[in-house]
Structure 1
Amino acid sequence: MKLLEGKTVLVTGASAGIGRAAAIGAARHGADVVINFSRDEAGAASAVAEIEALGQRGLSVKGDVSDPATARDFIAQAVDAFGKVDAFVNNAGICPFHAFLDMPVETFERTMRVNLHGAYFMVQAAANQMVKQGHGGAIVAVSSISALVGGEYQTHYTPTKAGLHSLMQSTAIALGKYGIRCNSVLPGTILTDINKDDLADMDKRERMAARIPLGRLGQPDDLEGPIVFLASDLAKYVTGASLLVDGGAFVNLQ
């Protein structure tokens, strides 16, 4: 059963990691997919190739999500190519680990601009297109377990993920009358480029895995199913919700 048959799905930050897994998962479930990326030309090209190998149409659009104009351009190019936007996945994000007391202003502001401001304008642009189309839609934000717990070297990052979680709750209310559902996924520790340096220490990696009831750190494709579900009509009465995808880490804090 293909859960996204005939739909057009857009994913930001999809040249690697969770975004790439979500994009390819959407194609596996019958969607045409448009991906946003900022720098990794080769990664974006190979993601589109995988989408097309699954028999779906794929398109990559380069752009820095911290610039509000990127959101308008991304949506416009997707509509020009495939005619509509049925589901939008906001995934693009950064986490340059740094201590709190000497956090550089630019590091803080760049993280805010990419993770939170970028998400706001991307979601707004996608929602406007969905309202214009008149047949509803689904928006899924990739938040984080960091929306719920702190991190010593993530004082600039965790507020952005809490903000994404909150944004989905508020947009669920604002957009419900248009048939647009807004939900978030909250991944735990997923092995992606965003944390590869932090997890290069194998002892630390093993300690973190040992705290997870399912006994391992996450992989990007662990998010594929939850995101596809929330984007699909199987979740037609789910909005304003958040889904932890963390192997049980959050409930094992004692």
Structure 2
Amino acid sequence: MLLNDKTVIITGASRGIGAAAALECARQGADLVIGYSGSPSSKGHVDELIQQIEALGRKAVAVGAPAEDPDTGEALVAAAVEHFGGVDVFVNNAGICPFHSFLDMPRETYLKTVDTNLNGAYFAVQAAARQMKEQGRGGAIIAVSSISALVGGAMQTHYTPTKAGLLSLMQSCAVALGPYGIRCNAVLPGTIETDINRDDLSDDGKRQYMESRTPLGRLGNPDDLAGPIVFLASDMARYVTGASLLVDGGMFVNLQ
């Protein structure tokens, strides 16, 4: 039980990486605050996730609010305090990636991506950190960045800067929050099969190419991120802060 009786907030947790991380945190003894967009289509996934968490003997509550709203972080923290007495771990996972070419990038697409992936994350991390400082027992903050923080993408000129920003945010917050015992780290997934890229990977040629560039020979799945997130959240990583952990099957080191 690496997270026994800890309270974990995860954003974008209705499905994909967030849901997989939530389930593994519950298996490791945590109670959960599930952040999701609030859309009716996501609500069914969240209800099912909460049932799975409760079947593991843990508790969970859901907060439906847009990740891009600067006030969403405070709502998530308030739910954690109300239901579980505080927050020990905050996982910023919410993100979007509407693939689009650069020269005709709609302004609204760019702004929506930056607000969802980075601006909302900034204020959510800030809200969690303030609560952790007030509690006085430290904590762990983990951002789900991406291999895209380190490499470019012609159809991701709006997305890659946000993931680089999350990585940089964790590095700076590690310095700013270290005196309070709050650790800040990032995980950098490679190509993970989620709703974000399902259409893109439906192209058999694209899928085979991505698999061929991955030394482990397969694309990732959400469960591949759950273990690294739990590790960084746990006391096993008590002296790890400001770090970035590639979870990409070796793809980055093979991009040459």
Letter in 1 for 2:148: S
Map 1:18-37 to 2 at 5 A: 18-37=17-36
SS for the counterpart of 1:89 is strand
Letter in 2 for 1:134: G
SS for the counterpart of 2:200 is coil
Letter in 2 for 1:23: A
Tell me, yes or no, if structure 1 residue 89 matches structure 2 residue 88. Answer: no
SS for the counterpart of 1:116 is helix
Map 1:219-238 to 2 at 5 A: 219-238=221-240
Quick one: which of 193, 196, 211 aligns to 1:194?
A: 196
Could you tell me which residue of structure 2 aligns to residue 53 of structure 1? 55
Report Cα offsets for 1:196-236 as digits up to 9, x if no partner.
11111112101110110000000000001100000000000
Quick one: which of 79, 104, 107 aligns to 1:105?
A: 107
Report Cα offsets for 1:84-138 as digits up to 9, x if no partner.
1000000000000000000000000000000000110110000000001000000
Structure 1: where are the runs of 5+ without partners? none
- The total of aligned residue pairs comes to 253
- Residue 65 (structure 1) shift: 1.4
TM-score by length of 1: 0.99
For residues 222 and 10 of structure 2, what CA distance do their matches in structure 1 show?
14
Deviation larger for 229-238 or 49-58? 49-58
Could you tell me which residue of structure 1 aligns to residue 6 of structure 2? 7
Letter in 2 for 1:77: A
Could you tell me which residue of structure 2 aligns to residue 247 of structure 1? 249
Letter in 2 for 1:4: L
Could you tell me which residue of structure 2 aligns to residue 78 of structure 1? 80
SS for the counterpart of 1:33 is strand
Could you tell me which residue of structure 2 aligns to residue 151 of structure 1? 153
SS for the counterpart of 2:152 is coil
Counting aligned pairs with the same residue, the percent is 67
TM-score by length of 2: 0.98
What root-mean-square deviation, in Å, do the aligned CA atoms of Structure 1 and Structure 2 show?
A: 0.6
- Residue 190 (structure 1) shift: 0.1
- Structure 1 runs, 4 residues or longer, greater than 2 Å off: none
Structure 2: where are the runs of 5+ without partners? none
For residues 21 and 81 of structure 2, what CA distance do their matches in structure 1 show?
20
